[in-house]
């Protein structure tokens, strides 16, 4: 019997029990749709995190006091290990650095008239905006002269405007109060939105670091240093130069631990990408269990089909039918169930993925690899789980099969 006739018989057998065939395919449909949707959500989240963190600058480098050991509280001496002199030394000695800024910050209430808003104020140098990829929408940035004179001027983000200037007035030239200190608004930042960690990048007030040190925090040390390498390829060199410079500046011996930590944005991107890959794999594996359950359902229904058609099998074998034809027929039936379920599942996966984007606003990326993988797996499941029932059908004794009630 040629393959075309075997195919026709397999299709006819499935058409006789359409509803049962659909219920059997349902496990495969749900499994494939789940795999495609889960992988699309995982890949979309990964891409979104990479893009948003890259907006902060992949050549961004930051230095913090202490050794950055998780769960360890820094002592007062460790918290004060970074000084303004360190910034100047790094600027002079580190050739891979293009821009650098000291950073101090404080949390508190920003007040304008009857409106107030809990936010953070950052004390930085003028280079900070370039390092963090902030742009001035209107007004201007503060100058080195205003740094030296402890000027009470600031640049604000869009979130601050929305919550303090609800009457729609132009904030430029007006004053807001942070705690008890008034600051004159000289610039407005362009909208940046949330970063990869869900933090609102527009909920910020930026002022000269000297003003924040003296008038708000009353400190002489700095809390961190932000810098940018000349290119992403020079990140490793920049980190090495900063580490060497700070160890010499802090007079640390070769046996002493660093009293600071240096990290790059590209390292964080790689870390988050790795975590995202693990979560995507986990989601895909959980969804893949549905495929396994669907395969077991196919095996179960094929056993039932063999039992129901025992006399038919016996009759075909007794009139000269070959075992390989019987084997091929039942194997084709199970494969057709799996492949048809896979095709419907792929279409459903597209629908579910787009629904997630439309309803919940989550980013998705449907890759061809996930489609090919799902289709290949469901095809393999049809062959694997259909083989044993098909083999059982082909191995029936014609006489025993004809006597079967």
Q: Where are the domains of the chain?
A: 3-52+271-403, 82-257
pLDDT classification of 1: cutoffs 50, 70, 90:
low
pTM of the model: 0.62
Residue 2: burial class (beta carbons within 10 Å; 0-12, 13-18, 19+): exposed
Side-chain-side CA neighbours of residue 39 (13 Å): 23
pLDDT classification of 3: cutoffs 50, 70, 90:
low
What does the pLDDT average to over 199-203?
85
pLDDT classification of 158: cutoffs 50, 70, 90:
very high
What does the pLDDT average to over 262-284?
73
What does the pLDDT average to over 38-66?
74
What does the pLDDT average to over 249-267?
83
What does the pLDDT average to over 369-384?
76
Higher pLDDT, 38 or 100: 100
What does the pLDDT average to over 260-270?
77
Ramachandran bin of 66, using left for φ above 0, alpha for ψ from -120 to 50, beta for the remaining angles: left
pLDDT classification of 119: cutoffs 50, 70, 90:
very high
pLDDT at 71: 47
pLDDT classification of 319: cutoffs 50, 70, 90:
low
**What is the percent of the chain with per-residue pLDDT over 70, rounded to a whole number?**
79
Q: Which residues contact 101 (CB under 8 A, 6 or more apart)?
A: 87, 124, 125, 126, 127, 128, 131, 209, 225, 226, 227
- CA distances in angstroms from 276 to 48, 269, 288, 334, listed in the order given: 11, 10, 18, 36
pLDDT at 198: 64
pLDDT at 117: 93
Beta strands in 70-114 (DSSP E): 97-112
What does the pLDDT average to over 188-206?
82
Which of 119-128, 143-152, 249-258 has the weakest average pLDDT?
A: 249-258
What does the pLDDT average to over 182-192?
93
Q: What angle, rounded to 10 degrees, do the helices at 368-394 and 323-360 form?
A: 150
């Amino acid at each position: 019997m040629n393959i075309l006739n075997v195919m026709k018989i397999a299709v006819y057998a499935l058409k006789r029990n359409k509803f049962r065939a659909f219920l059997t395919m349902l496990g495969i449909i749900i499994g494939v749709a789940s795999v495609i949707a889960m992988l699309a959500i995982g890949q979309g989240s990964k891409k979104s995190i990479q893009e948003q963190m890259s907006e902060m600058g992949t050549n961004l480098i930051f230095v913090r006091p202490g050794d950055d050991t998780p769960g360890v509280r820094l002592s007062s001496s460790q918290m004060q290990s970074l000084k303004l002199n360190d910034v100047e030394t790094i600027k002079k000695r580190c050739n891979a650095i293009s821009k650098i800024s000291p950073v101090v910050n404080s949390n508190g209430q920003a007040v304008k008239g009857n409106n107030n808003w809990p936010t953070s104020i950052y004390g930085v140098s003028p280079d900070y905006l370039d390092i963090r990829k902030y742009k001035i929408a209107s007004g201007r940035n503060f100058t080195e002269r205003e740094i030296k004179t402890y000027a009470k001027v600031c640049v604000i983000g869009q979130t601050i405007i929305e919550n303090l200037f609800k009457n729609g007035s132009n904030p430029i030239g007006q004053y807001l109060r942070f705690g008890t200190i008034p600051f004159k608004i000289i610039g407005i930042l362009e909208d940046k939105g949330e970063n990869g960690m869900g933090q609102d990048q527009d909920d910020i007030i930026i002022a000269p670091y000297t003003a924040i040190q003296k008038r708000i925090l009353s400190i002489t040390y700095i809390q961190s240093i932000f810098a940018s390498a000349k290119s992403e390829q020079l990140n490793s060199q920049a980190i090495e130069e900063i580490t060497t410079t700070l160890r010499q500046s802090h007079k640390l011996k070769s046996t002493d631990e660093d009293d600071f930590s240096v990290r790059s944005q590209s390292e964080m991107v790689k870390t988050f990408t790795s975590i995202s890959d693990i979560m995507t794999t986990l989601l895909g594996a959980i969804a893949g269990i549905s495929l396994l359950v669907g395969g077991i359902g196919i095996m179960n229904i094929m056993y039932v089909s063999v039992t129901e058609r025992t006399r038919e099998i016996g009759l075909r074998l007794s009139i000269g039918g070959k075992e390989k034809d019987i084997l091929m027929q039942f194997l084709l039936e199970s494969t057709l169930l799996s492949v048809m379920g896979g095709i419907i599942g792929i279409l459903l996966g597209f629908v579910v993925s787009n629904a997630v984007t439309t309803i919940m606003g989550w980013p998705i990326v449907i890759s061809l690899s996930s489609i090919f993988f799902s289709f290949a797996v469901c095809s393999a499941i049809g062959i694997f789980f259909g083989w044993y029932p098909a083999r059982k059908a082909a191995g029936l004794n014609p006489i025993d099969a004809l006597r079967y009630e």
